[in-house]
Amino acid sequence: ESTLCVIAALVSCWRGCSIGRLGEGELLMTRDETILLVEDNPDDELLTRLALKKSHVCNEVVVPRDGAEALDYLFGTGTYNGRDSAAMPQVILLDLDLPKIDGLEVLKRIRSDERTKRLPTVILTSSEDQQDLVESYGLGANGYVRKPLDLDQFRAAVGQLGLYWMVLNEIS
């Protein structure tokens, strides 16, 4: 893990991130980009935040609690009226089972709007329905990760997602 941390930190430096120290030998990577975590379950939110932090991905995480709020954030409407809608998140981690507007409908709306259609969107869900996986990719999801029931597996999966989308992935 420490080798991965150093490699990620070096890539992070190269890509214009700032590096700080958490403690002895631990590096903290920060970037200006935001992670949009669309999650209605406070426990899953906490686990996701902890997993990102453990992987030294310390970007701002904005957490809409339902599909309607996620769309409001992205398009600067409703609760987020006046938010600079040109400032898009670096990645969206999208649950499927959401109140008001479900995750598949949110993904459909993201992909149908010129301003958001290229936003990296990863489904992060506990759904084991194969149809959800097929529909997600059919609607343009960039990835699909099932939330593992095991806490260590969940932390590892989210940490790897964070490192890839926030540090290693190149965007246009």
C-alpha R_g of the chain = 16
Cα 107 to Cα 137: distance, rounded to the nearest angstrom:
10
For the segment 1-12, what is each residue's pLDDT rounded down to a tens digit? 444 444 444 344
For the segment 103-119, what is each residue's pLDDT rounded down to a tens digit? 999 999 999 999 999 99
Q: Are 45 and 63 a contacting pair, CB within 8 Å? A: yes
Q: Are 53 and 158 a contacting pair, CB within 8 Å? A: no
For the segment 133-160, what is each residue's pLDDT rounded down to a tens digit? 999 999 999 988 887 667 777 777 776 7
Amino acid 172: pLDDT: 55
Q: Are 156 and 167 a contacting pair, CB within 8 Å? A: no
Q: Which residues pair with 18 in a beta bridge?
A: 30
Question: Of all helices (H) and strands (E), which one includes residue 91?
Answer: strand 91-94
Cα 42 to Cα 119: distance, rounded to the nearest angstrom:
24
Amino acid 116: pLDDT: 95
Residue 56: pLDDT band (50, 70, 90) is confident
Cα 156 to Cα 41: distance, rounded to the nearest angstrom:
19
* pTM check: above 0.85: no
Amino acid 147: pLDDT: 79
What average pLDDT is seen over the chain?
79
